[in-house]
Amino acid sequence: MKQISRRDFGTTLAKGVGGAALLATTPMACAMGNAQNKKKLGIALVGLGSYSTYQLAPALLDTEHCYLAGIVTGTSEKEQIWADNYAIPKANIYNYQNFDTIAKNNTIDIVYVVLPNSMHADFCIRAARAGKHVICEKPMAITVPECDAIINACKKANVKLGMGYRLHSEPYTQEVKRFVKEKTFGAVNYITADAAYRSSSNPDQWRLNKKLSGGGALMNMGVYAIQSIIYGTGENPNSVSAQEFSTRPEYFKETDETITAQFEFPSGAVGNIMTSHNARANRLYASCDHGWFELDPASTYIPLAGRTSNGKLEFPQESQQKLQMDDFAEHILYGKPNRAPGEMGRRDMVIVEAIYESIAQGGKKIDFDFKPEYGFGG
C-alpha cells in the first residue's frame, strides 16, 4: 500500500483535528516536579491529536513510573501551548523532520507513537533505531509485513516494544481474564463482542482517509472486538468468516462502515464480532458451561461496568492510560510481564487481514495457524 507523506498528513490534519484539538488549558506546570527522579522514565508523545491531548497527557500527570518528557508534533502552534502546560523544555520538543535527533536526548526513554495508522511503522522503527523503547498505538500498522518490520527493528536495537492496548491494564478486563484462566464459570462455549460508534461530524477526518487509516471501522474499533473475544476465551482463533455492510456510501467513500465476523476456536467455542463507524455498541458477553459473564460497556475509557451470573462486578476506576503506561514502564524498569507485546499487535493484524480477505472472497472461511500461546502477553 502506498504510504502517505508527512506533508499529506499535515494537510489532512489541518482539515480535521489539526488546529482545533489543541490543549485544554489547565495549570499543569507542576507536573514535571519528579522529572529528575531516575526511577521514572521519560515519555515523548509523537502526535498531539485528541488522544494525546485528552487522555495520554493528563494520565501522565498521575503515573508513578513515567512522566511526560517530550513531544513530537507537525503543528508548530502546539509547541508553546504544550511547553507551557506541561513544563516541557525546548530541547525536548521535536517535529517530524528532526525527530531522529531524539537519539541524543537521555531524558527521553520511551517514544509513544500516536499518529495515523499509516505512519506507525515509520516512526516506531525510527524510534527503535534511536535507542528508545516503543509504545505503538493500535492498530500496530496497516500490514503484517509492517508489523514484522517494527518487531525486528526493536529486537535489533534491543529495546522494548509494547502496544497501546490500555484494557489489559484495567481491572474489569483483568477479571475477565481471571474467569477464563480459572474456569470460574466453566469452559466458554459462545462469545460475542461489539465495538462501534457513529461517525457523522467530520467527513475530512483522517480515519475516513484510507491512505492514512489503512481501513475503516475494523482497523479502529474492530481491534477492540477482536481483542475481547480472544482474552474472553483465552484462545487464538482457528478460523474466521466475515461480511461487510454499508448504508452510507456517500459518507464512507473509502473505508469500511460496518463489519461482522464469525470465529471458531480450538476448544470448540464459537464467537461473533460486530464493528462499525455507523452504530453505537460496546459489549462483551460470554456464555459458559456453568454461567456467563458480561462487560457493558467493555472498551470505553472509563467507567467500564460488568456483571456475571453470580452478580455485579465493581472495581475502583482509574485512568486506563495511566495504568497502561505504568505497566510498560515497570516492564522496562523491573522486568515485569509485558501485558501487550508487539507480537500481540501483529497477531491482531493477521486477523484483520484475514477478515478483509474473507470479505473479498464472499465470506469464505479463512484458517489460522497460531501457536497456542501466541500473542497473549503478561
Q: Which three cell numbers stand for residue 147?
A: 508489523
359-365: which pairs have CB atoms within 8 A and are 24 or more residues apart?
Answer: 359/242, 359/243, 359/244, 359/259, 363/241, 363/242, 363/243, 364/241, 365/239, 365/240, 365/241
- Cis bond leading into 58, ω under 30°? no
In the numeric block, the cell 467527513 is attached to 203
Nearest to 227 by CA among 117, 324, 347, 114: 347
Active-site positions read 138, 224
Q: What is the secondary structure of 221-270 as a DSSP string?
A: THHHHHHHHHHTTTS--SEEEEEEE-S-TTT-SSS--EEEEEEE-TTS-E
> For residues 301 and 306, what is the distance between their CA atoms, to the nearest angstrom?
14
Nearest to 78 by CA among 57, 103, 61: 57
Alpha carbon 142 to its chain centroid, in Å, reads: 13
In the numeric block, the cell 474467569 is attached to 179
Nearest to 167 by CA among 106, 227, 92: 227
**What is the crossing angle of helices 144-157 and 342-360, to 10°?**
170
Let me know: does 231 contact 173? Beta carbons within 8 Å. Answer: yes
